[in-house]
Amino acid sequence: MTDLRLVVFDVDGTLVDSQGDILAAMTQAFHGIGETAPSREDILGIVGLSLDVAMPRLAPDLAREQHFALVDGYKQAYFELREAVGTSNSSPLYPGARDVLDTLAVQDDVLLGVATGKSRRGLDKLLEGHGLQKTFVTEQVADFHPSKPHPSMLQASLADTGVEASQAVMVGDTSFDMEMARAAGMKAIGVSWGYHPVDALHFADVVIDSFHQLPSAIERIWGMDT
């Protein structure tokens, strides 16, 4: 049994604030097929889901082919928006995120991972844009897993690292992250600055209001079973 511990981060709404591009890309995607875009609240409500799951939720009355068109339109619009201003501007890290990631990354008994609804290409661009390519030892993306809250991403993270679920924690901003952690047998830390309201984070063991609260919250989480 390993003594290592694992901290898995959601990306959009947890590590980076990408809501401007998400809202703009989704609006362009809907307009591209001649439809009215959903509300800001509805769009942010599906952040974290894989796009093939998110589009039917946003537009249940549209045909399957239109959902496919929305996925393609969103991907293209998001790519163009990011390329126009650069990753660090389109998806800036939340205050304190870099410092905390750097602090955790140098701890010998802590491994870091990500579990995101982004594609492999999207995550690669984000990590490259922020110089985080070597920060995470396990990176799980939507291309290879069922959508959150299915626990597949976290199960793969545990398998990659050899860490027991009891020694791992998920950090995220949505109910999907919290439900995914619960399904994987992991503890969960919710963040209040993301895209779902705090009262939606039902399965969070702890909710924090700033990144600088994360290290102590992690220690509290791991102390719960000792």
10 labelled catalytic: yes
Q: Which residue is listed with tokens 């769009």?
A: 43
ω before 146 within 30° of 0 (cis)? no
CA distance 67 to 52: 7
CA 31 to chain centre: 26
- Helical axes 19-32 vs 64-85, angle rounded to 10°: 130
* Residue 24 DSSP label: H
Tokens of 23: 């809202």
Catalytic residue among 10, 21, 173, 205: 10
Residue spans of beta strands (DSSP E) within the chain = 5-9, 110-115, 138-140, 168-172, 187-191, 206-208
Radius of gyration of the chain (CA): 17
H/E element holding 76? helix 64-85
- Across the beta sheet with 206-208, what order do the strands follow? 138-140, 110-115, 5-9, 168-172, 187-191, 206-208
124 labelled catalytic: no
Return the active site residues.
10, 12
